Structure 1
Amino acid sequence: MESEARQKTTPKDLSTEVPGMMTKPSSMGDASWQEWVEPVIDILSNASNYIGEWFSTYKQLLTTLGIIVFGIISVKIIIAILGAISDIPLLAPILQLVGLGYTAWFVWRYLWKASNREELFAEFDAIKNQMFGDNA
């Protein structure tokens, strides 16, 4: 009698084989889930190929953008360093005096007389030939 009462109160979709499982697993939800997962797995498994093709296609553009970004970052760092140096007391005026002194020496040594200017141009030509060759 007890088993008859139990059968009457147990709904047909309840799982009695696996303890803790309230209902029988439906195969309909798994199929729709797999339809979404398979394309994602395909894309992820071929991701290195996609990325490699993309980089080879846009190599020159990426190089140019990288150089521009590196240049901007370098300028910002240099400006920050110069600002920090400028904030140190007496260092900025001393560096300005050194710069003025070197400029005065350069003018006196190379630009004051015509013979010294010819010597300077000869040194420039020697450096240019050393860097670019005799054809430049």
Structure 2
Amino acid sequence: MQEKEDTTQKLGVSSTETSSLVTVESSEEKSDQFQDIKNQFLEILSELPIIIAGFFGKYQKPIITLGIILGAIIIFKVMFAVVESLNDIPLLAPTFELIGIIYSGWFVYRYLLLASNRQELSKEIQAWKDQLIGDKSSDS
């Protein structure tokens, strides 16, 4: 017994000290706090469309640019997955390579071998470029 008293005195704890009791909130106070939090949450939710519209209005171009970049990444990943799955089919990859070689040979023979054909190709490329970018002579 004496050891127990010695240890309590060493720790600075005395059995005669009164400890303060923790006050427990009543259920009514908890209900009021819950209602306050609920009202704040509902207020934020009701303003959410306005906040999102303001954010989108302010950052419209960067958001669209980011969407286009993410869309392009997804398209390229899907495209590469399709090409990779086609490469797994026997005899299909060599067939595509043969078609590519034949088309390249035809393109060289048709457009690049003679000077007149090269001029024709240059005119076609310029016409496509004018259609995409716009004709500079008609804008002036």
- TM bucket (normalised to shorter chain) is 0.7 to 0.9
Return closer, same or farther for 1:38/1:106 CA change in 2, 3 Å cut-off: same
The one of the two structures with greater contact order (alpha-carbon pairs below 8 A, sep at least 6) is 1
Question: Runs ≥4 in structure 1, deviation > 6 angstroms?
Answer: none
TM-score (norm 2): 0.72
Structure 1 residue 53: Cα displacement: 1.0
The equivalent of 1:54 in structure 2 is 55
2-side partners of 1:57 and 1:126: how far apart? 39
Root-mean-square deviation (CA, aligned residues, Å) is 1.8
The equivalent of 2:67 in structure 1 is 66
Structure 1 residue 81: Cα displacement: 0.5
The equivalent of 1:98 in structure 2 is 99
Structure 1 residue 114: Cα displacement: 1.0
Structure 1 residue 37: Cα displacement: 1.7
Q: Does 1:45 align with 2:11?
A: no
Q: Specify every segment of 5 or more residues in structure 2 that has no aligned partner in the other structure, as ranges.
A: 1-25
Letter in 1 for 2:120: E
Q: Specify every segment of 5 or more residues in structure 1 that has no aligned partner in the other structure, as ranges.
A: 1-24
1-side partners of 2:61 and 2:110: how far apart? 45
TM-score (norm 1): 0.74
Structure 1 residue 30: Cα displacement: 2.5
Structure 1 residue 131: Cα displacement: 3.4
Structure 1 residue 84: Cα displacement: 0.7
2-side partners of 1:134 and 1:31: how far apart? 71
2-side partners of 1:131 and 1:72: how far apart? 24
Return closer, same or farther for 1:106/1:44 CA change in 2, 3 Å cut-off: same
2-side partners of 1:123 and 1:44: how far apart? 57
Q: Secondary structure at the match of 2:136?
A: coil
Letter in 1 for 2:95: I
Q: Secondary structure at the match of 2:90?
A: coil
Letter in 1 for 2:42: I
